[in-house]
Amino acid sequence: MDTERYDAGIYDIARAVAYVLAKAEGSNPEHWDYGTGVCYYNDTFEIHGFWQHEDDDTFYERHDDFSREGMTLFHHYESDFRFEWYKRIGRSSEVLSEVEPKMLPWYKIVVDCLESLQDDEAPDWKCRHKEGKK
């Protein structure tokens, strides 16, 4: 399956999240590495960064405050589109949902996510890995 169109959109969303979070904390967004993803969620979507313990099955056994149960690296709630990648966005990407939007619906998802960032008056690092939420 060709995931290239999704990779580019997810990358743009991750870049926008990093920019919003960096500005909120007063840092330079140019210094952020968002290529692995960024931990953030709101009422529209969630995105998580691939992190070094992802390949370590025993990590979750040793650290019960972290959970990936029921999570994907990207999830748009309204469409139920779910997407993952390996280490960096665009590497071994995979659609995990039954939903595989065509071009225009995919652009709507991307725009929906980007617009939801504008509505977040107090953006903050929000990572379900640490909160253990589903």
Q: What's the pLDDT at 16?
A: 92
| CB-count exposure of residue 94 (10 Å: 0-12, 13-18, 19+) | middle
Q: Please give the angle made by the CA atoms of 78, 81 and 86, to the nearest 5 degrees.
A: 145
Q: In terms of C-beta density within 10 A (0-12 exposed, 13-18 middle, 19 or more buried), how is residue 78 classed? A: exposed
pTM of the model: 0.79
Mind giving me the DSSP string for 94-108? Answer: EE-SS----HHHHHH
Ranges in the chain, pLDDT < 70 = 1, 51-71, 125-134
Give, in order, the Cα–Cα distances in Å from 93 to each of 8, 10, 32, 72, 87.
11, 11, 22, 12, 10
pLDDT at 131: 47
The whole-number pLDDT of residue 79 equals 96
Q: Which helix (H) or strand (E) holds 40?
A: strand 40-41
Encode pLDDT of 44-70 as tens digits. Answer: 999 988 765 555 555 555 555 555 555
Distance in angstroms (rounded) separating the CA atoms of residues 66 and 26: 28
Task: Compute the mean pLDDT over every residue in the chain, rounded to the nearest whole number.
Answer: 79
